[in-house]
Structure 1
Amino acid sequence: MLRVLSCAALLTTAFACSAADAGPDAHTLTVLSSGGIMGAIREVAPAYEKQFGVKLQVLAAPSMGQTPQAVPNRLARGEQADVVLMVGAALDTLSAAQVDKASRVDLGESYIAMAVRHGAPKPDISTLKALRTTLLNSTSVAYSDSASGVYLSTTLFPRLQLGEPFASKAHMIPAEPVGAVVARGQAQIGFQQLSELKPVKGIDIVGLIPDEAQKMTLYSGAIVSKSQHRAEAQALLDYLASPKADAAIEDSGLKPLPHKAG
């Protein structure tokens, strides 16, 4: 039986970057970031801080779900923030009182991957048939409570007609990375966005699921409506959407979007 340990403390821990050129009166931008784009903002932060003299405080916040740390729930409580980085479809559901929809920028495409515990055999998922066989033969399966997991549980798994025995061994993971559950040996295989699996230690990424099973998730950013630092927040979004951030976005496991000429 899969046992899921809560890591709410991990999700509420702030990642803070301190810019060498930022003085004691420099603004601090609070960024609520989904795990799928967390690697990119962490890599971009030092360069942004140095160029603009603005400190970043990045808080882990799922794009959706019932956990208190999720972006919609944080904003509904009135938590102070300046920028959200999250699944674009989830951003669309936020109200105009929560985010400035006109400030939205799309930042990168994400795709679903599968992981196993480090050193474990890597099952074949190269075709849809092979993926189905791997799912049926698995002892336990973990998937997220965010965009990829919702798609898997409501669309792909039913489409593959895996049956009741599979349903009893497949578990949605709230409040922590799926990779962490796999690393602890609490699930044989785990599925999540590649960009969310890459930072997790103790796992091996088998690869992306096949194209015919795949679903792209778009990650986007926007300014929080009540931000007191709109110019700095817009500068951060512009930076993330520029060629300067492409390497960081790609390193994180996302696919950068084309840039308009000029």
Structure 2
Amino acid sequence: MDKLTVMISGGFSPAYRAVLPEFERSTGVAVTTLSGASQGKGPKTIKSQLEQGTEVDVVILSREGLNELIAAGYIATGSEAELASVPLAAAVRKGSPKPDVSTVDALKQTLLNTPRLVMPASTGGIYMTDVVFPKLGLAGKVTPKMVPRGTDSTDMLAAGEADLAIGPVSEIISQPGVELVAPLPDEVQLVQMFTASIVKTAHNPEQARKLIEFLVSDRTTKAIKESGMQPVGIGRKP
């Protein structure tokens, strides 16, 4: 049986896991799925795991993270494919009151009034701390708990260990025990593009190409939309 190893970050994971069984059935390719953050520090990032020698055929992560991998020489030239986009949003524990994040001023006040804010230390969290907080005058005034992955933040929220989480919509609506408040206002929004690429050292490049072709096809559109993302793959029906 043909084999394939994929390393994926959180944003596209719900859609990917929904369609993976169909890919395996239709192609006969057995896929091993590993997990890693698109960006950040520490051993859990995709980049760090590649640096440690983890053997991977395909990576699926944010465009920002992919750009870092390209710069580091890990990606096969021309193999990048855009899969889906997703905005950042706020979330609360299921059943908790939903704060106002509908405008920039409302979001700013909500962040100031949130004692326990949690965010992933990956693309979305980096954007919030490096761009949004300074823009809103919140640098040094709001200190979020930064965790490696988006699922770590929603787990804390569900367990009552945090009051508000910010992350990609797809990492919120797929998680138990949490509720979507709303996407962030356009003025401070980051719409992440999730991409798939073949790793330069891939042992199974042919199977890798099959997977990417499948992910950008119409066969994954429904799962992508149900996960709160917008499909953008080439060849999709409008």
The TM-score bracket by the shorter chain reads: over 0.9
* Contact 1:243–1:259 (CA under 8 A) maintained in structure 2: no
Cα displacement (A) at 1:62: 0.8
Cα displacement (A) at 1:241: 0.8
CA 47–136 in structure 1, closer or farther in 2 if over 3 Å, else same = same
Cα displacement (A) at 1:163: 6.0
Q: Counterpart of 2:148?
A: 174
**Given the alignment of the two structures, is residue 150 of structure 1 paired with residue 123 of structure 2, yes or no?**
no
Cα displacement (A) at 1:165: 4.0
Task: Provide TM-score, normalisation by structure 2.
Answer: 0.92
Q: Counterpart of 1:135?
A: 111
For 1:45, give the aligned amino acid: L
**Given the alignment of the two structures, is residue 241 of structure 1 paired with residue 207 of structure 2, yes or no?**
no
**Given the alignment of the two structures, is residue 31 of structure 1 paired with residue 6 of structure 2, yes or no?**
yes
User: 1 CA distance for matches of 2:44 and 2:220?
Assistant: 26
* Contact 2:3–2:207 (CA under 8 A) maintained in structure 1: no
User: 2 CA distance for matches of 1:56 and 1:252?
Assistant: 21
**Given the alignment of the two structures, is residue 40 of structure 1 paired with residue 15 of structure 2, yes or no?**
yes
**Given the alignment of the two structures, is residue 252 of structure 1 paired with residue 227 of structure 2, yes or no?**
yes
Regions of 4+ moved over 4 Å:
none
CA 261–33 in structure 1, closer or farther in 2 if over 3 Å, else same = closer
- The C-alpha deviation readout for 1:210-233, integer Å capped at 9, x for no partner, is 112211111101111111211111
Cα displacement (A) at 1:67: 2.8
Q: Counterpart of 1:64?
A: 39
User: 1 CA distance for matches of 2:157 and 2:235?
Assistant: 40
Aligned residue for 2:142, secondary structure, equals helix
Q: Counterpart of 1:232?
A: 207
Q: Counterpart of 2:76?
A: 100
Aligned residue for 2:24, secondary structure, equals helix
Q: Counterpart of 1:122?
A: 98
**Given the alignment of the two structures, is residue 76 of structure 1 paired with residue 51 of structure 2, yes or no?**
yes
Task: Provide TM-score, normalisation by structure 1.
Answer: 0.84
Aligned residue for 1:103, secondary structure, equals coil
After superposition, the CA RMSD in angstroms is 1.8
CA 31–108 in structure 1, closer or farther in 2 if over 3 Å, else same = same
CA 58–261 in structure 1, closer or farther in 2 if over 3 Å, else same = closer
User: 1 CA distance for matches of 2:37 and 2:180?
Assistant: 21
Gaps of 5+ in 2: none
User: 2 CA distance for matches of 1:81 and 1:233?
Assistant: 10
**Given the alignment of the two structures, is residue 223 of structure 1 paired with residue 198 of structure 2, yes or no?**
yes
User: 2 CA distance for matches of 1:127 and 1:164?
Assistant: 21
Q: Counterpart of 1:15?
A: none
For 2:148, give the aligned amino acid: P
- The C-alpha deviation readout for 1:189-247, integer Å capped at 9, x for no partner, is 01011111222211111111111221111110111111121111101001101111111
Cα displacement (A) at 1:70: 1.3
Aligned residue for 1:66, secondary structure, equals coil
Percent sequence identity over aligned pairs: 32
* Contact 1:242–1:259 (CA under 8 A) maintained in structure 2: yes
